[in-house]
Amino acid sequence: MHLVRLLLSGIALLRDSIVVVRVEEHRDRLVAIRDGGVSWQEVDAWRLDLHRDLDAAYASTRLPERPDYQAANRFLLKARWTAAQLGVSP
């Protein structure tokens, strides 16, 4: 179940540049996998389809090869500073 969920999230990240945490549209099927209600053959077939989708998304992604480390560091520093000012603990 977790592999399938991660593949779905990876495809969305590469295609749409967003990190999908909630996968409601696939929830019932994922829960069925988790609970053993789906055969291994069906899970494996879906996994293989998703791997193909992931490979295609990777080949056509607009994401940069490497992250902008300076921008990420500025964001994290600002977030931590703001959390400290509000008295929020990590």
pTM: 0.76
pLDDT of res. 85: 87
Residue 22: per-residue pLDDT:
85
Boundaries of domain holding 47: 2-86
* Count of the separate structural domains present in the chain: 1
Q: 11 with 50: CB under 8 angstroms?
A: yes
* pLDDT of 23: 83
The span from the CA of 66 to the CA of 77, in Å, is 20
2-16 vs 40-60: helix crossing angle, rounded to 10: 20
Residues (pLDDT < 70) of the chain are 89-90
